[in-house]
């Protein structure tokens, strides 16, 4: 039977814990990798969580897989990984994908907007020409 995006996100949310700002900050202070999976124009417009790396959803598997020629050494299956996006759906799917790839400590922070509106530290985009 075919599945739809709503069902996929629900399954991802059931498989991956969602965390709040306080827990994320604590984990970040201990070295968790924070990954923004939004598309580049979204990050350029609004900035990103301070210290986060940007890996668009479409490249996540390639950056996270140590066997991939595109692997990013910041990804370590033994290290906690916190993901977020614009609303929490892409980050949930991304987190489940990482779990499927063998990452054991994967968490969904949810929406960037919530982080920013609640006073979370962000890196602002650089103004053109600077």
How many structural domains does the chain have?
Answer: 1
Residue 50 covered by a domain: yes
Q: pLDDT tens digits, residue range 87-125?
A: 999 999 999 999 999 999 999 999 999 999 999 999 987
Q: pLDDT tens digits, residue range 60-81?
A: 999 999 999 999 999 999 999 9
Residue 32 covered by a domain: yes
Closest listed residue to residue 63, CA positions, set 103, 115, 90, 27: 103
**Please, what is the Cα angle at 43 between 39 and 45, to 5 degrees?**
120
Q: Pairing relation of β-strands 81-85 and 33-36? A: parallel
The residue range of the domain holding 107 is: 20-122
Residue 71 covered by a domain: yes
pTM beyond 0.85: the answer is yes
CATH code assigned at 85: 3.40.250.10
């Amino acid at each position: 039977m075919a599945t739809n995006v709503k069902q996929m996100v629900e399954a991802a949310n059931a498989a991956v814990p969602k965390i709040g700002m306080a827990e994320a900050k604590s984990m970040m202070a201990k070295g968790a990798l924070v990954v923004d999976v939004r598309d580049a124009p979204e990050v350029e417009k609004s900035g990103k969580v301070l210290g986060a790396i940007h890996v668009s959803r479409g490249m996540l598997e390639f950056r996270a897989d140590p066997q991939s020629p595109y692997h990013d050494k910041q990804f370590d299956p033994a290290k906690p990984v916190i993901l977020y996006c614009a609303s929490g759906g892409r980050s949930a799917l991304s987190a489940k994908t990482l779990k499927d790839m063998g990452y054991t400590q994967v968490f969904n922070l949810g929406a960037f907007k919530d982080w920013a509106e609640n006073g979370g530290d962000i890196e602002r985009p650089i103004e053109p020409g600077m």
